[in-house]
Amino acid sequence: MKPATKFIHAGAHPDPSTGAIMTPVYQTSTYVQEAPGVNKGFEYARSQNPTRKALEEALAIIENGQFGLAFSSGVAATDAVIKLLSPGDEVICANDMYGGTYRLFTKVFERFGIIFTYVDTTHSENVGKAISSKTKLVWLETPTNPLMNITDIAAIAALTKPKNILLAVDNTFASPALQNPLDLGADIVMHSVTKYLGGHSDVIQGALVMNDADLREKLYFIQKSCGAVPGPMDCFLVLRGIKTLGVRMKAHCENGRIIANWLRQHPKVGKVYWPGFEDHPGYAVAKKQMKDFGGMISFELKDDSVEEARRVLSATHLFSLAESLGGVESLINHPASMTHASIPREERIKNGLSDSLIRLSVGIEDADDLVEDLAKAIG
């Protein structure tokens, strides 16, 4: 089945009692049992819910996986993966990553004895050198947030699989429409479903997808035991959002290409970070493992001052100043003070994230209007 068809039909089964084509919202906390321990597959809504079950089936299908699990947020999904580990275990992760993930790793799990080692994963040899007898997990983002770095998933999988090290990939920026990490050797795919999968800035949710049944059981045990599960209405909204993922991502990519090239030609704009440029260091890998280059762009102004960046950030109208990304509407963001503020400044600067960097989530509005909005703001 082709992706465009998958997005429409994944997890969709007409309701057997009414024939409703959309999955009902099962707004219930518990389920009546025929006898003690005899039920219809559902006992308590923290453990199972029919709406969530349909979504988890859809998540697995669109990521070419066997099993999907939905969580109350992307951070909750990430939290569940790290809970597979024990004190003394090591995680190798990218030195450019979402600030919320960094905060979770450093402020929560380091206190419990988990070791996190940060390397430039765009060069797979760095990961190979960092692997030790304690390494149990490699955590990747590709493209990264916010510098759009690209990591070769298959190359990293070639390092982790022989050593039985788990490879998890945050696929939020690409979405299943552009990239399928399980096909490239990853063991776990994580999504902040809030973003492109939901697609309408109206839900907070996360997801994990995997192929291994034993791994699924371990993660499901954590899901039901810790309880960070989404409600049925949120699951319904994401099921609806997935149906338009294919057409939305085409529009995001088309607009992203226009905006990225326009920014690069603007006399007041300095470096533009977008993996679709042929001179981007990760272009060849991105072209190999992605279907297109996405609608996420970061850039710096030639007047590399925080004051000038703040002026631009506050001067747009169609690009709304807000955290998050992946909705149909365009957003503009200042990573240093917003999404990545939890990363110490010296770490941000060392990894190339300047105080004046601006990040765009290019929506699906008319590209001419978006260009005009940026042109007026930049001046």
Q: Which fold has domain 245-378?
A: Aspartate Aminotransferase, domain 1 (3.90.1150)
**Cβ(342)–Cβ(75) under 8 Å?**
no
| CATH top-level class of 3-243 | alpha beta
Give the torsion through C-alpha atoms of 182, 7, 142, 280, to 10 deg: 120
Mean pLDDT along residues 266-283: 97
- Return the pLDDT at 299: 96
- Return the pLDDT at 325: 97
Give the C-alpha separation, 254 to 290, whole Å.
15
Domains 3-243 and 245-378 share a fold: no
* pLDDT of 16 higher than 90: no
- Return the pLDDT at 354: 80
Q: Compute the mean pLDDT over every residue in the chain, rounded to the nearest whole number.
A: 95
Using the Cα atoms of residue 312, residue 343, residue 324 and residue 5 in order, give the sign of their dihedral.
Answer: positive
369 is catalytic: no
**Cβ(269)–Cβ(378) under 8 Å?**
yes
Percent of the chain with pLDDT over 90: 89
Q: What is the amino acid identity at position 145?
A: N
* pLDDT of 279 higher than 90: yes
* pLDDT of 15 higher than 90: no
**Cβ(113)–Cβ(87) under 8 Å?**
yes
Half-sphere exposure of 7 (CA within 13 A, CB side): 20
The structural domains of the chain, with segments of one domain joined by +, span 3-243, 245-378
Chain segment 235-259, per-residue pLDDT in tens:
999 999 999 999 999 999 999 999 9
* pLDDT of 129 higher than 80: yes
* pLDDT of 37 higher than 90: no
- Return the pLDDT at 44: 92
* pLDDT of 260 higher than 90: yes
**Cβ(64)–Cβ(54) under 8 Å?**
no
Which is the catalytic residue, given 6, 79, 83, 98?
98
* pLDDT of 272 higher than 90: yes
170 is catalytic: yes
Which is the catalytic residue, given 195, 243, 248, 359?
195
Mean pLDDT along residues 272-279: 98
268 is catalytic: no
Token pair 């009692």 in the structure block, residue: 17
* pLDDT of 266 higher than 80: yes
Give the C-alpha separation, 94 to 150, whole Å.
10
Q: 200-214 burial, b if ≥16 CB within 10 A, otherwise e?
A: ebebbbbbbbbbeee
What is the strand order of the sheet 331-333 is part of? Answer: 269-273, 296-301, 358-361, 331-333, 320-321
195 is catalytic: yes
Q: Enumerate helices (H) and strands (E) in the chain, giving the number of each.
A: 13, 12
Give the C-alpha separation, 374 to 318, whole Å.
9
- Return the pLDDT at 342: 76
Chain segment 85-99, per-residue pLDDT in tens:
999 999 999 999 999
Q: Which pLDDT band holds residue 167 (cuts at 50, 70, 90)? A: very high
Chain segment 338-372, per-residue pLDDT in tens:
878 778 888 787 777 788 899 999 999 999 999 99
Which is the catalytic residue, given 96, 170, 234, 292?
170
- Return the pLDDT at 185: 98
What is the maximal distance between C-alpha atoms in the chain?
73
Query: Which residues partner with 42 through β-bridges?
Result: none
Mean pLDDT along residues 188-192: 98
Q: Which pLDDT band holds residue 41 (cuts at 50, 70, 90)? A: confident
